Structure 1
Amino acid sequence: MADSWTIRADVPREIARAALLAHEEAEDWPSEWVLVGMEIADDRPDDWFVEAYLPHKPSASDAAFVGALFGPRPPKLAISKVAARDWVTLSQQGLDPIVAGPFRVRTAEFAPEPGTIDFVIPASQAFGTGHHATTEGCLAMLATMKARGMVVRNLADIGTGTGLLAFAGLALWPRALATASDIDPVCTGVVEANARANDVSLGAGRGALTMVVAAGMDDALLQARGPYDLLIANILAGPLVELAPDFADAVPAGGSVLLAGLLETQEPTVRAAYRRAGFRLAARMVNGDWSILWLRRRAVR
């Protein structure tokens, strides 16, 4: 695995949120770069970091490009090399298990806890480890759906990352068909390895998970396996808005979407897009600054 580099700024919450919004509107953002922003620590909700991951050593123009997300007076940017082997070691340190509803997500050094739906997800693996408020909120919302009597026979997790949310869906509805997708081909190996580690069956039948590489719903297999009773997408507000019509095509009347990755300030825009696409709000929760939305498709008149 090749080394990567980061460009990081530690900034107040409002500045970080503004930078994340600017990133969504940046049409020329390189597709191979990843930008994340979140709280520095749970007990410091007003202190955030914004970090761009690059597959090469950043140039001065790269740093200026990231700095431009913060407006005319960018904060101090720290550039660091992230060696693959060091990232695996460091990222495992100090991450306590996450508990959300019946789920417990842990790294391998922690022991399982009886009475929980237990998943082992290496914290070094991209996004969707359970340690971000959006993933934690999705796990809690899935538990709410189950508690309210929702029956799922066919589910898809779009932008799956580690596969965690697809695994959680199968744990709650073990006879469902399940499909996970991500735009990054690297996620295929990650999801398959995590499936094996968590005794999740891989395959095309009920109770098993199929992994595809796709941008949004743009994949023949992903389309052919629909329609979906439940479509999960923990991505970003901009793509969620763009995908609303495609999600509407993939979810029948009465079916549900679970949306996350949007700041609470972005919620009105996302909800408006899905209202136009024929969805209504079933439930919402806010975890930190992030909204998690359960929407149901209205019957077509």
Structure 2
Amino acid sequence: MPTFTALTHLPGREAAEALCEACEDLTPEPVGTGIFEIEDGSERWEVGAYFTEAPDEIALAVLAVAFGAQPFVISELPEVDWVAHVKRELTPVRAGRFYVHGSHDADDIPEGVEALWIEAAMAFGTGHHNTTKGCLQALDRLATEGFTPSRVADIGCGTAVLAMGAARLWNVPVLASDIDPVAVDTASANVIANGLDGRVISIEAAGFDHPTLEQAAPYDLVLANILKQPLIDLAGDMARHVARDGRIILSGILTTQADEVTEAYRAAGFAAGLRDDLGDWSVLVMTRS
């Protein structure tokens, strides 16, 4: 089945949301729409609509003019099994003591590593992105320094690679939450595949908003590899759910955004610790004062 994309951008979240909503009334109707902030300091938002038949280019042009957006760029995507393609392309990742691999490399694991089996799937976190790799390296450093948490949470867990890494390091139960039900299903499957069923518990939740997460607090360690604005929005909740002297590992942050996130967490009661920049991305390790 062919897939068509129609993408544009414009200033302001409210205008982007209104345009996104207007796209839903098009004929043919899109199978999905969405917006996200272009995090380059321009305060512009991208609007996307996805179709299984060619969209009405004239109607899209009219919408773009009506909402002050750039003209829609329409593309037809080739029919590709992207998961199979990614599996072929992904090579194992070494991050500290961790070795993240797919099933195609399961017979070639080096000795003395903590192997984590992650298949390409519809969730973030195969270890190849610098944010995931940086968080795994931060976990490795904490363990090397003798840090020993007993209560751990991974907020926005994606594939649960970070939650599983923590469970392997400290042999403690880890709660792994994500707002996306597909990610939660993917995380649960990965947990079973890695022999961690019962030690990593996958939960569908936004932030800490779940009875299980609330009851398990305060946490000695919280991982959150998401995005700048959700991290800033989470700072107050993080302070309420992290124990005194507890650690947090934050990523999903561009290097240009790291200072802003650091200041938000300082204001919430965290002391800045290690900052590790990998390419364009930063990983922050902070301690609740």
Q: What TM-score do the two structures reach when normalised by structure 1?
A: 0.75
Q: Does residue 203 of structure 2 align to residue 212 of structure 1?
A: yes
Aligned length: 263
Counterparts of 2:116 and 2:122 in 1: how far apart (Å)? Answer: 14
Checking the alignment, whether the CA contact within 8 Å between 1:137 and 1:285 is kept in structure 2 is yes
Structure 1 partner of 2:264: 273
CA shift, 1:278, in A, is 0.2
Checking the alignment, whether the CA contact within 8 Å between 1:127 and 1:161 is kept in structure 2 is yes
Q: Does residue 90 of structure 2 align to residue 91 of structure 1?
A: no
CA shift, 1:201, in A, is 2.5
Structure 2 partner of 1:165: 162
Checking the alignment, whether the CA contact within 8 Å between 1:57 and 1:81 is kept in structure 2 is no
CA shift, 1:189, in A, is 2.0
Counterparts of 1:138 and 1:182 in 2: how far apart (Å)? Answer: 17
Counterparts of 2:223 and 2:137 in 1: how far apart (Å)? Answer: 13
Distance 1:244 1:270, change over 3 A: same
Structure 2 partner of 1:254: 245
CA shift, 1:8, in A, is 7.7
Structure 1 partner of 2:27: none
Checking the alignment, whether the CA contact within 8 Å between 1:152 and 1:229 is kept in structure 2 is yes
Structure 2 partner of 1:118: 115
Secondary structure of 1:192's partner? helix
Counterparts of 2:193 and 2:284 in 1: how far apart (Å)? Answer: 29
1:131 to 104, 124, 128: 128
Counterparts of 1:135 and 1:36 in 2: how far apart (Å)? Answer: 21
Structure 2 regions of 5+ residues with no counterpart? 22-31, 39-45
CA shift, 1:35, in A, is 6.1
Q: How does 1:220-259 map to 2 (within 5 A)?
A: 220-259=211-250
Secondary structure of 2:175's partner? strand
Counterparts of 1:168 and 1:178 in 2: how far apart (Å)? Answer: 10
Counterparts of 2:123 and 2:281 in 1: how far apart (Å)? Answer: 19
Checking the alignment, whether the CA contact within 8 Å between 2:33 and 2:47 is kept in structure 1 is no
Q: How does 1:1-301 map to 2 (within 5 A)?
A: 33=34, 57=52, 59=55, 78-80=75-77, 86-110=81-105, 111-174=108-171, 176-202=172-198, 208-298=199-289
Distance 1:5 1:251, change over 3 A: farther
Q: One-letter code of the match for 1:168?
A: G
Counterparts of 1:60 and 1:266 in 2: how far apart (Å)? Answer: 38
CA shift, 1:153, in A, is 0.5
CA shift, 1:113, in A, is 2.0
Distance 1:76 1:219, change over 3 A: same
Q: One-letter code of the match for 1:103?
A: F
Distance 1:252 1:7, change over 3 A: farther
Deviation by residue 1:86-122 (Cα, 9 ceiling, x = unmatched): 1221121221111110011111101322211111111
Counterparts of 1:35 and 1:81 in 2: how far apart (Å)? Answer: 24
Secondary structure of 2:240's partner? helix
The structure with more radius of gyration: 2
Q: One-letter code of the match for 2:167?
A: L
CA shift, 1:226, in A, is 1.0
Query: Among the aligned pairs, what percent are the same residue?
Result: 36
Deviation by residue 1:34-75 (Cα, 9 ceiling, x = unmatched): 8699xxxxxxxxxxxxx98877549569988xx99xx96679
Distance 1:190 1:261, change over 3 A: same
